[in-house]
Amino acid sequence: MFIRSIRFAVGSALVLTLVAGCGGVGGSDADTDGAAVNLTMMGFGTGDEIAKTRFDAANAAIAPSSATAAEGSFDAQAFLSAVASGSPPDLVYMERRLLGTYAVKKALTPLGDCVDREKIDMGQFREAAVAEATLNGQLYGLPDFYNNRVLMLNDAAFAEVSLDPSGFNTGDWQGLSTAAVRLTKTSGGKLQRIGFDPKMPEFLPLWARANGAALVSDDGKTAQLNDPKVIEVIEYTVGLVNEQGGWSNFKSFRDSWDFFGAKNQFASNQLGAFAMEDFYLNVLAANSPKTKVTVAPFRGVDGQPVDWITGNAWAIPANSPHAGQACKWIKTMTDSETWIAAARARAEVRQKENKPFLGVFTGNKKADEVIFRDIVKPDPAVQTVLQAQETGFSEPAMAAGEEFKAAWQNAVNRVLEGKQKPAQAMAEAQQQAQAALDKANSGS
């Protein structure tokens, strides 16, 4: 009883002192049929036409009720405080990889009943995205975007060193190293161009899969960070970085890029190639449409395309004040028709701006079929992404997703900084990650 009082006191204090700015999280009206209620949410803003169109459609679906968007991305601190103080939002929008952590602690409502009641067509969603939102056989989120990882190659840089972009293959490690060094440019001991950025540590799951390994078992309960194949890719990719000037110069130079601007690393010829999420194609199309970039699939050592996918999901917190309305809302938000309407809205805006529109890659395959058939005429770059996503894999939902990720990221960072050897770092990470998974899965 005392502990419960303490928990309540801390929860209240957290709300009062830490998240005073996000008041109104809880709803005020009963979730009754026909009654107009105001749904509150966390993690989603209506910053562009894609978001706005879908948001309006979802609101129309629950009229006379409506939802209020909350600007800013998902804030774990605010969400925890709201749930702990008994004032959860009606809806929450977060990365799918986070769902497992909150699900195992019963902060999220399983969506089985919601799917049944609203007759949500689960067949419309991509399997990898659904798998990422499923823990111990229970669905905890409806998939939103579907972020693919592909290679983006700077045609100008390749031409400069007489390299053919079509021969650039991440499955041929020897050839990749040679190409990366050829593409790298330095002047006065300083990097002028990175040849190939392997995007470590954040793309380790992709590299591991490309080398025939996985960081965690299929059930998300056993860490496999010390798998020799994982260690092998770390040795190779860190070696790639070292061949191009070493981590310190590499990262410092990369931090200086105008990543989302017109003078981005491709437009400024500061990068030869990198693996990247598909959304960046739209950034390039909007900011430097004249820059020529070749898109290629990321290939494994067996020569086959590999695509690690991630994305966000819509979830309903436990004790959501208006769970029924929230279910209707997220059904509409993720429905194929809603995505198609949003894509049409984006296409119109881009047309008015006289800029290319490369489409949106959603977790809804039915929507994608229509978008890339009727709204977008896929260019070779988009075709590559579409082909890659057919082989997309996701990491399984985990009960301690954040700790797991921190363990391997910190380990790779230690290797990049030259503080540890890959085997030593990953042995340490394995121990930390497994301890975290065991603890979370034991329910303590």
Partner 1 sequence: MSAVRRRETWAALGFLSPWLIGFAVFMAGPMIASLVLSFTDYDVLTSTDFVGGENYRQLLADPRVRTSIANTLIYTALHVPVTMIVALALASLLARVGRRSAGFFRTLFYLPTITPKVAVGVLFLLLFNGQVGVLNSALGVVGIDGPNWTVDSQWIKPGLVLIGAWSLGSTVIIYLAALQNVPRDLYEAAEMDGASAWARFRAVTVPMISGALFFTLIINTIASLQTFDEVYTAFYGSANQQTYGNDAALFYVVYLFQQAFQFLHMGYASALAWLLFLIIVIITVVQVRLSRRFVYYESE
Q: How far is the CB of 332 from partner 1 (least distance, A)?
A: 28
Sites for partner 1 among residues 149-188 (CB under 8 A): none
Which of 194, 276, 415, 436 touches partner 1 by CB under 8 A?
A: 436
Q: Taking Cα atoms as reference points, which of 109, 84, 143, 77 lies closest to residue 314?
A: 143
Q: Among 236, 247, 268, 421, which residue interacts with partner 1 (rule: CB under 8 A)?
A: 247
Q: Are 161 and 183 in contact (CB under 8 A)?
A: yes
Q: What residues are paired with 275 via a beta bridge?
A: 151
Q: Among residues 201, 220, 297, 396, which is the contact residue for partner 1, using CB under 8 A? A: 201
Using CB under 8 A as the binding rule, whether residue 400 contacts partner 1 is answered as yes
> How far, CA to CA in Å, does 161 sit from each of 101, 157, 176, 184, 270?
47, 7, 14, 10, 14
Q: Which residues contact 379 (CB under 8 A, 6 or more apart)?
A: 358
Q: Are 361 and 128 in contact (CB under 8 A)?
A: no
Secondary structure (DSSP) of 21-36: GG---S--S---TT--
- For the bound state, the minimum distance from the C-beta of residue 256 to partner 1, rounded and expressed in Å, comes to 4
Q: How far is the CB of 133 from partner 1 (least distance, A)?
A: 19
Candidate segments 6-14, 56-64, 222-230, 279-287, binder of partner 1 by CB under 8 A: 6-14
Q: Which stretch binds partner 1 (CB under 8 A): 54-62, 103-111, 235-243, 349-357?
A: 103-111
Looking at the Cβ atoms of 253 and 357, the one nearer to partner 1 is 253
CB nearer partner 1, residue 38 or residue 136: 136
- Dump strand ranges (E) for 216-263: none
Instruction: Kindly tell me which of 103 and 388 has the beta carbon lying closer to partner 1.
Output: 103
**How far is the C-alpha of 243 from the C-alpha of 84, rounded, in Å?**
49
Closest approach, Cβ 66 to partner 1, in A, equals 28
Q: Give all strands (DSSP E) within 291-350, no chain letters.
A: 293-296, 307-308, 312-315
**Applying CB under 8 A, which of residues 172, 235, 403, 438 lies at the interface with partner 1?**
403
If you count them, how many residues does the chain have?
444
3-state helix, strand, coil in the chain (%, to 5): 50, 15, 35
Subset of residues 248 to 287 that bind partner 1, contact rule: CB under 8 A:
248-249, 251-253, 255-256
Near partner 1 in 26-85, by CB under 8 A: 76-77, 80, 83-84
- Smallest separation (angstroms) from partner 1 to the CB of 73: 8
* Number of chain positions touching partner 1 (CB under 8 A): 46
10 binds partner 1 (CB under 8 A): yes
DSSP secondary structure letters along 23-79: ---S--S---TT---EEEEES----SHHHHHHHHHHHHHTTTSEEE---SS--HHHH
> Which region among 12-20, 172-180, 285-293, 342-350 touches partner 1 (by CB under 8 A)?
12-20
Told to check if 413 binds partner 1 by CB under 8 A, we report yes
Nearer Cβ to partner 1 (299/414): 414
Q: Which is nearer to partner 1, 10 or 159 (CB)?
A: 10
Applying CB under 8 A, among 160, 337, 402, 438 the residue interacting with partner 1 is 402
Q: How far apart are CA 392 and CA 394, in angstroms?
A: 7
Spatial separation of the C-alpha atoms in residues 385 and 144, rounded to whole Å:
17
Smallest gap from Cβ 78 to partner 1, in A, equals 9
Minimum Å distance from CB 411 to partner 1? 11
Query: Which residues, 6+ apart, have CB-to-CB distance to 151 below 8 Å?
Result: 168, 170, 273, 274, 275, 276, 295, 296, 297, 298
Q: Interhelix angle for 422-441 vs 96-104, to 10°?
A: 50
Identified binder of partner 1 from the candidate list 341, 375, 406, 423, rule CB under 8 A: 406
Q: Which is nearer to partner 1, 18 or 301 (by Cβ)?
A: 18
Neighbours of 45 (CB within 10 A): 15
CB of 108 to partner 1, least distance (A): 10
DSSP secondary structure code for residue 397 in this structure: P
Considering only residues 6, 60, 156, 262, which one is a binding residue for partner 1 as defined by CB under 8 A?
Answer: 6
Q: Which is nearer to partner 1, 33 or 255 (CB)?
A: 255
**How far is Cα 144 from Cα 198, in angstroms, rounded to an integer?**
26
To the nearest whole angstrom, how small is the minimum distance from the Cβ of residue 150 to partner 1?
19
Binding residues for partner 1, rule: CB under 8 A, are: 2-4, 6-7, 9-11, 13, 16-17, 76-77, 80, 83-84, 101-102, 105-107, 190-191, 201-202, 247-249, 251-253, 255-256, 400, 402-403, 406, 409-410, 413-414, 417, 419, 436, 443-444
